[in-house]
Chains A and B, each alone.
Chain A
Amino acid sequence: MKRMLLAFTVLLLSVMAVFAQGSAEGAADDGGLIRVGIINNDPNESGYRTANDADLKRVFNEENGYDASFYYSLRNDEQIAAAQLFVQDGVDYLLLSAAGTAGWDSVLQDAYDAGIYTILFDRTVDANPDLYVAEVVSDTNLQGQTAVDWLASQNLDEYNIIHIQGVMGSSAQIGRTDPLNAMVEANDNWNLVTQQTAEWNAETAQQITQAVIDSGTPFNVIYAENDDMARGAVAALDRANISHGVGGDVIVMGFDCNKWALEELLAGRWNYDGQANPFQADTIDGIIRDLENGIEPESKTIYLVEQGFDAATITQEDVDKYGI
């Protein structure tokens, strides 16, 4: 009994510590500042998230006229609880990147009733669209389509593709997989040598690629749904002395535009990297400025501009500007 109590206490303390960390960055009293409550996923989750968080912090600070409170969690229920607190606190805007899509109706309704504008960014939720003013999101399907179109433009006689997927069911995975699947379906000279999930993990991607190499099946394209997995696949190619990149036997494609990945592109070791734009703060800032002046956004869903980089055309400037 005593032991359980102790265990429970420790658990409680650690949970409280997480909460304390979340709310410690809370706001002071404002002096004409716009109060925003920002709920995001943990910046440690990925390089993308780190860049996203840094971008938000760059824009939403006192210098720019904002009094911003940040809350991070990878758990939906914790995020909802934090949103409730922000609503009670009476923030002016609620910026939300939800960990999960479900369960948001009631808290968004509360925010709406309290006259708080909710802006979704990066991830959308399953709720009545009337409850939020805008969603600033990536069109992952477009990311995939851009990449597949680029690949088609290479005019290979035959496409034998190793397709390494992200965590199954995630929006990035679905958006980057579907256009490729459609293309393979439609064209006889497009084949999937293998299609497996490496769950965003470089090492698993290496093993998947290694398994294809060991089997002796010919292939000429690596289509990896993020940079880490492309790196893993390339490690397997290097081990087997298979040339890749510009002028090589195998075309390497990745996503997310990590700085190091764009450098691989610049060096000609990879061929293509698709952007997943984490820089949403300026767009959100624009929406808020408009709302402050009484202008509602024209459309509810605002897609970020995202491009794909080709090793043949990429410049150092692109690397510095778009690398995350």
Chain B
Amino acid sequence: MSIDKTPSIGLQKASGLFRRQIFIPLAALIVLILFNLIADPSFFEISYGTNSAGNPVLSGYLITILDNASELAILAIGMTLVTAASGGQDISVGAAIAISGSVVLRVLCGDNPRPDEMQASILTAFLISCVVSMLFGAFNGTLVAYFNIQPMIATLILYTAGRSIAAWINNNRLPIISDPSFGYFGTFIPGIPIPTPIFIAIICMAIIALVLKFTTLGLYAQSVGINPNSAKLNGINPAFIKFITYVIMGLCVAVAGFIKVTRFSTINYSVVALDIEMDAILAVALGGNALSGGKFSMVSSILGAYVIQFLTTTLFKFNVSSSALPAYKAVVVIVLVVLSAPTVRETLKKAWNRLRAGSPARKEA
């Protein structure tokens, strides 16, 4: 086939952008930014002040967005890998967060739900909750990878039972940690005006960036998700790769759960991180990743998470009435998800090409 070499480089770049996964979450973010900029430029103001404990804090919508999106961004990391390798989603993350948060509090509180001082170091509690979460992840992973159960069905078990398990871990009591240092992780470290969850999210992103760069996890997960037969014949163990992504998801859950409990130094088993799995799946979808698995873009998923929080905060800011809020959100989400579907991206690309180049060989029939 002969390839006409006329299109300019700029055009190719532009059509390349449409094909690039990151286009949709990026465009969504830009639209949200522009909308807010036009509606109320003060949206982007960041002010410096002190909180009631007298420590310096930065505040403003942008800080709020970055702060509150932290858990979602961390979960999007795990959800992206799980989706890529197993072609399905883990719907138990909200319930699993309740468990991991409950474990942290249980370790710190011991048998007394209102201890005056913590019974263990925060690090110990965090590490134990990581282990527990990874075990639950391993449970999900075993069902999916070795018993070949559909991910949604496999994780439905934990989704159903998780919050009861979380309550059972603390004997149905609501522990509260009064030591302020515990709250540093979910709010501010004295003297540092940026919310700590932002740092935790950045650390997680850095770690996953390093993992993807210095291991072959990304290639393996994609290969297994696209064609497990072929992956196997190239020496990859597809079941193990699927399994390991669920364990990584467990780790992400532990970190997100830790942030959740440190925000208020307590937990509410029934509502903590409620429905967050849906937002995490949405972040993956917004990032243009196929929910049926295969190729993924981690950056797009994470960006998707921030888009979701940006949207939520924008809706709060514009005081959309309670009953209408889900409708607004649904409309925006539908538009974004439709736009980020690969077929639509392809059509957009074509439209763009026609618009700019106007194929010379083409005549209307």
Residues of A bordering B, CB below 8 Å: 3, 6-7, 10-11, 14, 18, 42-47, 50, 165, 168, 194-197, 199-203, 206-208, 210-211, 213-216, 228, 231-232, 235, 237-243, 258, 260
Complex interface: chain B residues within 8 A of A237 (CB): 52
* Whole-angstrom distance between the Cβ of B321 and the nearest chain A Cβ: 7
B270 an interface residue at 8 Å Cβ cutoff? Answer: yes
User: Which chain B residue shows the least CB distance to A213?
Assistant: B59
Counted as pairs of residues, one from A and one from B, with CB atoms less than 8 Å apart, the total is 126
Q: How big is chain B's contact interface, by range? A: 35 or more
Q: 7 other contacts beyond A201-B274, A239-B187, with CB at 8 A cut-off? A: A44-B166, A195-B322, A199-B274, A200-B271, A202-B263, A202-B264, A216-B42
Interface residues of B in 90-127 (CB under 8 A from A): 114
Complex interface: chain B residues within 8 A of A206 (CB): 263
Complex interface: chain B residues within 8 A of A201 (CB): 268, 271-272, 274
The 24 listed contacts between A and B (C-beta, < 8 Å) are A6-B149, A7-B149, A7-B153, A10-B149, A44-B166, A44-B269, A47-B268, A194-B316, A194-B319, A195-B321, A196-B319, A196-B321, A199-B271, A207-B64, A207-B312, A207-B316, A210-B59, A211-B61, A214-B64, A216-B42, A235-B264, A240-B59, A241-B51, A260-B174
User: Which chain A residue shows the least CB distance to B163?
Assistant: A44
Q: Contact partner of B263 among A50, A208, A235, CB < 8 A?
A: A235
Q: Which of B60, B164, B316, B321 has the most CB of A within 10 A?
A: B316
B167 an interface residue at 8 Å Cβ cutoff? Answer: yes
Residue pair B52, A44 in contact (C-beta under 8 Å): no
Main secondary structure of the interface of A (DSSP, over half): helix
Residue pair A210, B64 in contact (C-beta under 8 Å): yes
User: Which chain B residue shows the least CB distance to A72?
Assistant: B164
State in angstroms the CA–CA spacing of A201 and B269 once bound together. Answer: 11
B53 an interface residue at 8 Å Cβ cutoff? Answer: yes
Residue pair A44, B323 in contact (C-beta under 8 Å): no
Complex interface: chain B residues within 8 A of A232 (CB): 264
Complex interface: chain A residues within 8 A of B157 (CB): 10, 14
B206 an interface residue at 8 Å Cβ cutoff? Answer: no
Q: Which of A45, A195, A211, A258 has the most CB of B within 10 A?
A: A211
Complex interface: chain A residues within 8 A of B147 (CB): 6
A238 and B52 in contact (CB under 8 A), knowing A214-B61, A214-B317?
Answer: yes
Complex interface: chain B residues within 8 A of A238 (CB): 51-53
